[in-house]
Amino acid sequence: MTPQILQLNPILIPAVNEELAARYQVHKYFEIEDQGAFLQQHGASIEASSLAVTPGSPARFWNNCRR
């Protein structure tokens, strides 16, 4: 199974997007209409984010992701 990652923000370098897509199943969080429902349904299968998450990030993000 291909590892799943959550891309939190757009990446403006096409080569980076291409490399991520070649290695992972990328979920573009910023394009998801109902982010809360997505995290409830898929959060446990997300293995990493493609961007550093700061202490100010929404608790719902971390509460629904794999530990």
Residue-wise pLDDT for 10-63, tens only, equals 888 888 889 889 999 999 999 999 999 999 999 889 887 765 444 455 555 556
Q: Which residue has the higher pLDDT, 60 or 9?
A: 9
Answer yes or no: are the C-beta atoms of 18 and 60 closer than 8 Å.
Answer: no
Answer yes or no: are the C-beta atoms of 20 and 50 closer than 8 Å.
Answer: yes
| Sign, CA torsion 57/58/59/61 | negative
- pLDDT score recorded for residue 34: 96
Helix (H, G, I), strand (E, B) or coil at 1: coil
Tally Cβ neighbours within 10 Å of residue 38: 16
